[in-house]
Chains A and B, each alone.
Chain A
Amino acid sequence: MSLPHRVLSLLFVFLSLCCLPVAAWGAQPLRIGYIPIADCLQLYVAVEQGFFAAEGLNVETRPMQGGPILSLAVEAGELNIGWSNVISLFQAQTQGFSFVLLAPGALEDDGPHLTHSLLVRGDSPLQTVGDLAGRTVAVNALGNVNDLAVSVLVEATGKDPQAVRMVEIPLPDMEAALTSGAVDAALMAEPFLSSSLARGTRLLVAAPHAVFGREFMIAGWFAKADWAAANPGCAAAFRRAVDKASAYITAHPTEMPGVLARNTKLAPNTAATIALPAFSSGLDQAAMQRVIDMTAVNGSIPAAFPARNLLAPGLDWPQR
């Protein structure tokens, strides 16, 4: 390589590197990422009821495929606030990416608020979760809460979780992959869960997230710690709007099918039949600590850390 060529190529590498971490935040709207499923109900309600506008927030919402992708977009500055399952946030935390929760999100239990299940085809030979060894399982994002739940369940049967092949398939496409035989099982979430069951798929594990505890905060709203520290007013306003939405959802359960029908691809009559997560402005820190410890024992994070490291310091965190 001649000298001018070398100089030019080094220059090119250098310029490309300079362009990477550009995060512009100015008079632009607050960019919020979400997954178009029932778990993000707080966002739909806060937008429809004008809770964001009442706080003086101009928001721009962007649908995305899964928590880890949302977190990458938040890390890159593409989004200001994201919605992520907590496992992905734990992993980011232990790898030196500092994200903080701004507001509690969806609470799941194994009763009326059961929103995730592991499904197989109606005619599938699979009977127990241990049969998944050597099979292909669809999750909406690799290494997330659903991936971990399947691993923990398989490990509990004495089989090797590494023998289960996880593939990443967006939630809306899972049923097609399942019925065509491309995957043997799929960890689906509402609203796709109910409609898929109605079309003849079968439950393999009804409540896979029960491995994390009876009531489990599956996900929450988060931002980069830097951003939350630099925009405390904005973070607090966002929190107030989301808390109002949580209270509204609890007070008006009958309105929720309509909200979902308007904000997800769900038919109104199906929306009326699906299970919804619970929402609260409180957070059970002890329960969250338990999930962090479990994640560390499973090896998905190298070491446990105090749950409060993940909570935005400028905000109130009442006990649920």
Chain B
Amino acid sequence: MTRLRPLIGLLAAALLWEAASRAAGTRAMPTPGEIASAFVDLVLNGTLLRALGLTLGHTTLGLGAAISLGVPLGLWMGCSRTARALLTPTMELVRPLPPPALIPPAMLLLGFGPAMYVTVVGFAACFPLLLAAMDAGRAMPAPLLDTARSLGAGRLRIATRVIAPACLPGLATGLRTALPVALIVAVLTEMVGGDGAGRLILRLQRTWRIPEMYACVIGLGLAGWALAAGLSFLERRILFWAPAYQRLPPQP
């Protein structure tokens, strides 16, 4: 019974939607059955998967840019007081800027290609990673470094065997925050930029294919859920040794 609870919740939501849809009596709110059949059609003819593939590609592209910029910069700021003093004011000034505000200038400067997604999605996803890396860098236990050094470890060995493992759990947290942000901004950029699931939703709405539009929205929801689930699976696999992951229920 306990394991069925989430299903009961879903079923209740679907029933409520069905009732509301019938009561509203408008084609703007199709029933769950119509949406499900539209979903199956869109999956079978490949439209939805192709669009979601593009969207996940844009998300990954932006996330990759954010990781390669945010993580080194954050670690540097975490480890060096000078870097922190130098970069913090600039960062605090840029950080409150809502990423969608960058779409129109990025469109003009970079066109509608991958460069626009890298810039806009990368900008949005950069800050959670940068902050997480900075905290991880600051929280690096000094005795660990001293011990490694006194045992004769070289710089490379310290970086790969001490610093990287010590920072990974913090970076994983940053990634978990950055992922949904990247997906949100990628979809929004697509609505303007003309590719992927964002465009598909808009196009279906504009051509009045409303059940298909809802199906696409649900597809994006599932994609977001799958991304988060995949990430948490990887975390548990890679970071099984970290204290934060040992509070999980013991594996059978």
A residues whose Cβ falls under 8 Å from a Cβ of B: 1, 6, 10, 13-14, 17-18, 20-21, 68-69, 71-72, 75-76, 88, 91-92, 94-97, 136, 141-144, 165-168, 176-177, 180-183, 300
Q: State the CA gap A18–B21 with chains docked (Å).
A: 10
CB interface residues, B 185-208, toward A, < 8 Å: 192-195, 199, 202-203, 205-208
Task: Find out whether the CB atom of B194 lies under 8 angstroms from the CB atom of A168.
Answer: yes
Q: State the CA gap A71–B28 with chains docked (Å).
A: 12
**In this assembly, does B242 line the interface, its C-beta being within 8 Å of a C-beta of chain A?**
no
Q: State the CA gap A177–B203 with chains docked (Å).
A: 20
Q: State the CA gap A91–B209 with chains docked (Å).
A: 8
Q: State the CA gap A91–B28 with chains docked (Å).
A: 14
Whole-angstrom distance between the Cβ of B190 and the nearest chain A Cβ: 10
Instruction: Please tell me which stretch of B9-17, B79-87, B90-98, B122-130 contacts chain A, meaning at least 4 of its Cβ atoms lie within 8 angstroms of it.
Output: B9-17
Identify which of A10, A177, A300 contacts B107 (C-beta below 8 A): A177
Whole-angstrom distance between the Cβ of A143 and the nearest chain B Cβ: 4
Which residues on A sit within 8 Å (CB–CB) of B24? 17, 20-21
Interface size on B, residues (CB 8 A): 30
Interface of B (DSSP majority class): helix
**In this assembly, does B112 line the interface, its C-beta being within 8 Å of a C-beta of chain A?**
yes
**A143 (CB) vs chain B CBs: closest residue:** B207
Which residues on B sit within 8 Å (CB–CB) of A14? 16, 20
Whole-angstrom distance between the Cβ of A77 and the nearest chain B Cβ: 10
Which residues on B sit within 8 Å (CB–CB) of A143? 203, 206-207
Task: Find out whether the CB atom of B13 lies under 8 angstroms from the CB atom of A167.
Answer: no
A17-B17, A142-B199, A165-B195 as given contacts; A95 in contact with B210, CB under 8 Å: yes
A13-B16, A21-B26 as given contacts; A91 in contact with B208, CB under 8 Å: yes
Q: State the CA gap A95–B208 with chains docked (Å).
A: 6
**B109 (CB) vs chain A CBs: closest residue:** A180
Task: Find out whether the CB atom of A92 lies under 8 angstroms from the CB atom of B208.
Answer: yes
Task: Find out whether the CB atom of B112 lies under 8 angstroms from the CB atom of A1.
Answer: no
Q: State the CA gap A311–B31 with chains docked (Å).
A: 29
Given contacts A68-B206, A95-B27, A95-B207, 17 further A-B pairs with CB under 8 A are A1-B5, A13-B16, A17-B16, A18-B20, A21-B26, A68-B205, A75-B26, A76-B28, A97-B208, A141-B206, A142-B199, A143-B207, A165-B195, A176-B108, A177-B107, A182-B111, A300-B207
Whole-angstrom distance between the Cβ of A101 and the nearest chain B Cβ: 16
Task: Find out whether the CB atom of A166 lies under 8 angstroms from the CB atom of B12.
Answer: no
Q: State the CA gap A17–B16 with chains docked (Å).
A: 9
Task: Find out whether the CB atom of A181 lies under 8 angstroms from the CB atom of B111.
Answer: yes
Which residues on A sit within 8 Å (CB–CB) of B205? 68, 72
Task: Find out whether the CB atom of B208 lies under 8 angstroms from the CB atom of A136.
Answer: no
Task: Find out whether the CB atom of A166 lies under 8 angstroms from the CB atom of B194.
Answer: yes
